[in-house]
Amino acid sequence: MTSVGAWPARGWVIVGILATLLLAGLSLVTVGVLRGGFTAGGPGLSVGACAVPTLSGTVVNVNLTNMGGPMMGGGGGPMTGGGPIMMGGTMRLQADPATVPHGTVWFLATNRGSITHEMVVLPLPEAQIVGARPIGGDGKIDEMGSLGEASNNCAEGPGQGILPGGSSWVSITLKPGRYELLCNLPGHYGAGMYTQLTVT
Ligand SMILES: [Cu+2]
């Protein structure tokens, strides 16, 4: 009698385990949807928190990063006063690829740091190197002559800045030459957010 009664009990245990696994799976899907990990059909690519449309032709992926923030895995940040401006080359702007053919170029800037960033494209005059622009009292460089920028969170073109985990994109027609990609939020250029793009 005991062995007969044990089987249904074991069956219920198995049902319970299956139900738990099913619920766990459902909650994972829910988290994925909430985090924007799934696009709602149609072409496109989900990058971070944003659904990025398909960018055809030449695409330069621009990574915007900063150290010391919670998204960097916590390595003991150098910040002591809690101010928004970080000093000492703790920020980076990297372009991949760094050389592209002339014509229409898409820039896809993704913020992998912990604070707001942006990407601005400026021509780089002959005999001038990147990172050498004079920085004003406001911590910014002169954006005169800007060819375009990606600073619209989860959208195209200029805006209020790209939030952590977000992206922005812009297409610019470029002639052969050298260009400087940079972030011009106060203090960021001085902290190292610039790189060269060569157009052939
Ligand atoms: Cu920045």
CATH of 45-71+86-199, one of 3.20.20.70, 2.60.40.420, 3.30.565.10, 3.30.360.10: 2.60.40.420
125 Cα to the center of ligand 1, angstroms: 22
pLDDT tens sequence for the chain (200 residues): 444 444 455 554 444 444 444 345 444 444 433 343 333 334 455 666 899 999 999 999 999 999 865 444 433 344 444 445 544 559 999 999 999 999 999 999 999 999 999 999 999 999 999 999 999 999 999 999 999 999 999 999 999 999 999 999 999 999 999 999 999 999 999 999 999 999 99
Q: Which of 122, 117, 124 is nearest to 145 (CA)?
A: 122
The bridge status of strand 155-156 relative to strand 167-174 is: parallel
Tokens encoding 156: 């195209």
What per-residue confidence (pLDDT) applies to 49?
85
How many C-beta atoms surround the C-beta of residue 200 within 10 A? 8
What per-residue confidence (pLDDT) applies to 153?
98
* Sole residue written with tokens 């896809």: 108
Please list the alpha-helical segments (H only) found in the chain: 2-34
128 Cα to the center of ligand 1, angstroms: 22
162 Cα to the center of ligand 1, angstroms: 9
152 Cα to the center of ligand 1, angstroms: 13
